């Protein structure tokens, strides 16, 4: 039974066009389930959100590139994402969920198809990973130039970040670490995130303002100071994403046009927009490689 709301069918008009080659560095695809069934024991069951709908949204928003993050409902079955990478013709990259016993040959094949990282969930509702798994995978993906992508909750950040820094491979923190806006900018978790400034291996996604908002109401205004602080502090280490189609949203469903406006209002400088939307994702996901 479907237990996630679908994304909004309409989006607010954009107040400012995005730069050429702008990248949505965090989005998902689901199914279609009759072609790519969801795995047994999945943490949630979403409505179908296939690649064609994602691409249509990106064209509407003026987004040229995207990074598809493997969702928990498909487990380690990468077939839908690999199919999307082929359809994307070089405009998309991916972050995988990997089986612990994946072969070197499979990793090399994923790399050739456009996978550039591995995601780990340290979230109770998604079945938290163990850090020993992260360390093992980090050793294997280092030679490929991949990164570790971490989805975690704010209270865990301060303890996890030193361990991530010790891995010696790039790492990305999803959704601003899911800190709680109610905790304010001086919260230990958010200060730990800002403390990554200058670490060449550390990246933060300014995605999911709804996931840190304490109100749960659009346009998630209480998340604005957190995005602004990150933009002001470490723009060379930031990535931006929509999080479409917004699985497991507990408050109001985000409007993807509003999310673009949210970003451009807080980051009006075209040069900084270029850094966050084009230069940074190019460096991490290597879109210029065939």
What letter does residue 73 receive in the DSSP assignment? G
Structure tokens at 287: 């879109």
- Contact yes or no for 13/53 (Cβ under 8 A): no
How far apart are alpha carbons 225 and 106 in whole angstroms?
42
Contacts of 41 (CB under 8 A, 6+ apart): none
- Joined tokens for residue 285: 């996901």
The candidate with the shortest Cα–Cα distance to 83, out of 98, 97, 68, is 68
Q: Among 204, 201, 206, which residue's Cα sits nearest to residue 266?
A: 206
Q: Is 200 buried (19+), middle (13-18) or exposed (0-12) by CB count in 10 A? A: exposed
Please compute Rg for the chain using Cα positions. Answer: 17
Length of the chain: 290
109 noted as active-site residue: no
Nearest to 176 by CA among 166, 159, 162, 191: 191
Determine which one of 243, 255, 256, 288 is catalytic: 243
| Positions marked active-site | 243
């Amino acid at each position: 039974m479907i237990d996630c709301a679908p994304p909004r069918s309409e989006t607010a008009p954009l107040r400012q066009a995005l730069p050429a080659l702008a990248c949505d560095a965090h989005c998902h695809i689901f199914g279609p389930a009759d072609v790519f069934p969801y795995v047994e024991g999945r943490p949630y069951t979403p409505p179908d959100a296939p690649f064609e709908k994602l691409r249509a949204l990106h064209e509407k928003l003026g987004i040229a590139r995207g990074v598809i993050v493997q969702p928990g409902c498909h487990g380690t079955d990468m077939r839908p994402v690999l199919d999307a990478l082929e359809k994307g013709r070089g405009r998309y990259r991916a972050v995988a969920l990997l089986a612990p016993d994946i072969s070197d040959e499979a990793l090399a094949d994923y790399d050739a198809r456009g996978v550039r990282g591995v995601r780990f969930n340290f979230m109770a509702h998604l079945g938290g990973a163990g850090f020993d798994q992260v360390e093992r995978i980090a050793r294997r993906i280092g030679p490929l130039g991949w990164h570790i992508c971490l989805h975690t909750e704010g209270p865990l950040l301060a303890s996890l970040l030193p361990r991530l820094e010790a891995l010696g491979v790039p790492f990305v923190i999803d959704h601003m670490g899911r800190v709680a806006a109610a905790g304010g900018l001086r919260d230990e978790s958010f200060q730990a995130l800002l403390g990554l400034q200058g670490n060449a291996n550390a990246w933060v996604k300014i995605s999911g303002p709804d996931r840190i908002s304490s109100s749960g109401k659009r346009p998630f205004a209480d998340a604005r100071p957190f995005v602004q602080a990150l933009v002001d502090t470490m723009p060379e280490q930031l990535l931006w994403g929509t999080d479409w189609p917004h699985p497991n949203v507990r408050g109001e469903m985000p409007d993807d046009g509003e999310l673009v406006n949210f970003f451009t209002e807080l980051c009006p400088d075209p040069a900084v927009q270029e850094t966050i939307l084009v230069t940074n994702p190019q460096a991490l996901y290597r879109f210029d490689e065939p």
